């Protein structure tokens, strides 16, 4: 049995493992046992139920999910979506995303769209095309181009030199109007192995006020197994530099389920991360899908922790972080109580997009760069996935959009439901009936039947007015949302999705 109990740390939620039937090998052999304590009033969570529910499923950074995009949605359809927003009198600021795909080394676990090269000249060519796309997007949004969010992702955005970054930021400011530093959220992902404290100070001067660091695991054996050797001292030095430079928020990314990882090693990493006191922490489940991502073929299956051990790791992460005062936002995100994410969740403003949990739910997302995905009005659109195709479209003076989807009423309705459940873990049925011309009990009769099965498992409570996800159900929120996904075949979930836990 696995027992889930209710202490103060996780708004009444924590985890304890049955020490007879479900103890991991690390717990048995570690000279210092990893204690996962919990107070009374346990909810039993049977192993058989866990195995049944831990299935492949979408992460719902969008609905419909990106695998439903079609090539029939092209640049012309995107321009129409922007025109419709203009006709509606767009009142909200934009969110911008820029994809910088380059890395100088490959991390074996990575599933991002990236270009691994030490030839820095490739970035110079890419930037000329990226700036061209930015200018085209800015022309489309002329008159409604106020920006309150900016995120640089990759790849490794700091692959760009200081000069290249300054030129790119200046180009953005020439074409878009940016909110003040106090109001706007301007973030960048950095690799602590390739930046110095001086570079962090420069990034702050260039306009960034939020920083995200990839750590994954501090254990040397794990780092070697994934080809990412990153000294703990380098990471801590960058965090200190960010605070010195005046960054408003520092976020750290971890991964559980990596090769050579153990319950003991991840406990040590957690201890060090908590001591560093970042504002946000994301703990991602490593999804081993070598059939889709070539670098993962360098990871031996035999080096991966067993599924039961991965669950131990997840539960330990939740316990340690909530005991340290972090708020469990949902899925894999934690934040300090005074962080904007936690505040947005308390105020009902939390949003989920292609960068994960976010604020500014009302903003259209305009994404530039190879493979980047925009969300404008009732549409999603994705750029070409290869540099060659991306360059070719721009050489033809076309937006480099390869595919997308225009959402119908049913899509918008289901997107709203999934967003509410993913972000706030509850849904007012009356609010849906007010916003859409449906009677919930009739329109979603089949879904309600499925939800009652999950209710019997203790994942949610269901009445005539509310769907409320229990503390037990929050870890399985993807399973709950899958009930409302009309594109999923209930008898065959594609292997391209990661497991829900």
Spell out the domain ranges in the chain: 66-376, 409-501
Contacts of residue 98, Cβ cutoff 8 Å, sequence gap at least 6? 130, 134, 150, 151, 152, 153, 157, 168, 367, 368, 369, 372
Give residue 422's pLDDT. 93
The structure tokens listed for 99 are: 């994809």
Give 111-152 pLDDT, tens digit per residue: 888 898 888 889 999 999 999 999 999 999 999 999 999 999
Give residue 119's pLDDT. 85
* E strands, 247-342, in order: 249-256, 280-285, 327-330, 333-335
Give residue 113's pLDDT. 80
Which DSSP letter does residue 68 get? G
Give 359-416 pLDDT, tens digit per residue: 877 789 999 999 999 999 999 999 999 999 999 999 999 999 999 999 999 999 999 9
Residue 119 phi, psi dihedral angles, 5° rounding: -85, 95
Cα distance between the two ends of the chain? 17
Distance, CA of 85 to CA of 134 (rounded, Å)? 19
- Crossing angle for the helix pair 162-175 and 121-140, nearest 10 degrees? 10
Give residue 434's pLDDT. 95
Distance, CA of 202 to CA of 179 (rounded, Å)? 20
Beta strands at 333-335 and 356-358: parallel, antiparallel or unpaired: unpaired
Which DSSP letter does residue 363 get? P
Contact 351, 330 (CB under 8 A): no
Give residue 47's pLDDT. 56
Asked if the bond preceding 62 is cis, omega within 30° of 0, the reply is: no
Which DSSP letter does residue 126 get? H
Per the listing, tokens 């399985």 go with: 476
Quick one: CATH architecture of 409-501?
Orthogonal Bundle (1.10)
Contact 175, 132 (CB under 8 A): no
Which CATH class, in words, describes the domain spanning 66-376? alpha beta
User: Comparing C-alpha atoms, which of 306, 300, 224 is closest to residue 262?
Assistant: 306
Give residue 308's pLDDT. 84
Burial class (CB in 10 A: 0-12, 13-18, 19+), 54: middle
Q: For residue 170, give the 3-state DSSP assignment.
A: helix
In this prediction, the residues of the chain whose per-residue pLDDT falls under 70 are 1-51, 90, 490-495
Burial class (CB in 10 A: 0-12, 13-18, 19+), 397: exposed
Burial class (CB in 10 A: 0-12, 13-18, 19+), 41: exposed
Distance, CA of 460 to CA of 473 (rounded, Å)? 6
């Amino acid at each position: 049995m696995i027992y889930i109990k209710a202490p103060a740390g996780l708004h009444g939620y924590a985890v304890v493992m049955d020490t007879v039937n479900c103890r991991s090998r690390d717990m048995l052999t570690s000279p210092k046992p990893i204690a996962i304590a919990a107070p009374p009033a346990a909810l039993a969570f049977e192993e058989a139920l866990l195995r049944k529910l831990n299935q492949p499923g979408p992460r719902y950074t969008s609905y419909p999910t990106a695998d439903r995009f079609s090539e029939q949605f092209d640049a012309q359809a995107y321009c129409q979506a922007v025109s419709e927003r203009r006709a509606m009198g767009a009142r909200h600021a934009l969110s911008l995303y820029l994809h910088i795909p380059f890395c100088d080394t490959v991390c074996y676990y990575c599933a991002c769209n990236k270009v691994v090269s030490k030839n820095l000249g490739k970035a110079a060519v890419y930037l000329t095309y990226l700036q061209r796309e930015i200018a085209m997007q800015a022309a489309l949004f002329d008159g409604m181009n106020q920006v309150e969010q900016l995120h640089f992702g990759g790849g490794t955005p700091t692959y760009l030199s200081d000069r290249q970054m300054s030129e790119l930021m200046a180009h953005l400011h020439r074409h878009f109007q940016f909110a003040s530093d106090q109001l706007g959220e301007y973030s960048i992902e950095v690799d602590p192995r390739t930046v110095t404290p001086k570079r962090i100070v420069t990034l702050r001067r260039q306009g960034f006020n939020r920083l995200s660091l990839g750590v994954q695991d501090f254990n040397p054996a794990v780092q070697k197994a994934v080809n990412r050797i990153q000294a703990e001292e380098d990471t801590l030095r960058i965090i200190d530099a960010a605070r010195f430079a005046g960054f408003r928020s520092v976020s750290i990314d971890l991964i559980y389920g990596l090769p050579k990882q153990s319950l003991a090693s991840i406990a040590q990493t957690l201890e060090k991360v908590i001591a560093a006191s970042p504002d946000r922490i994301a703990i991602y489940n490593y999804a081993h899908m070598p059939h889709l991502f070539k670098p993962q073929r360098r990871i031996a299956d035999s080096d991966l922790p067993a599924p039961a051990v991965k669950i131990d790791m997840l539960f330990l992460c939740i316990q340690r972080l909530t005991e340290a005062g972090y708020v469990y936002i949902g899925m894999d995100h934690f934040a300090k109580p005074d962080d904007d994410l936690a505040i947005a969740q308390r105020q009902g403003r939390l949003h989920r997009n292609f960068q994960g949990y976010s604020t500014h739910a009302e903003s259209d997302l305009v994404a530039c760069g190879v493979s980047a995905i925009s969300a404008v009005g009732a549409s999603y659109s994705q750029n070409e996935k290869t540099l060659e195709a991306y360059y070719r479209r721009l050489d033809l003076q076309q937006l480099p959009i390869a595919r997308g989807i225009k959402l119908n009423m049913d899509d918008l309705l289901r997107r709203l439901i999934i967003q509410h459940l993913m972000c706030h873990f509850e849904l007012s049925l009356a609010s849906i009936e007010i916003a859409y011309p449906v009677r919930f009990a009739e329109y979603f009769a089949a879904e309600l039947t499925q939800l009652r099965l999950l209710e019997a498992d203790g994942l949610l409570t269901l009445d005539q007015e509310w769907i409320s996800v229990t503390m037990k159900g929050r870890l399985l929120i993807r399973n709950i949302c899958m009930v409302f996904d009309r594109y999923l075949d209930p008898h065959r979930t594609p292997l391209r999705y990661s497991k829900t836990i």
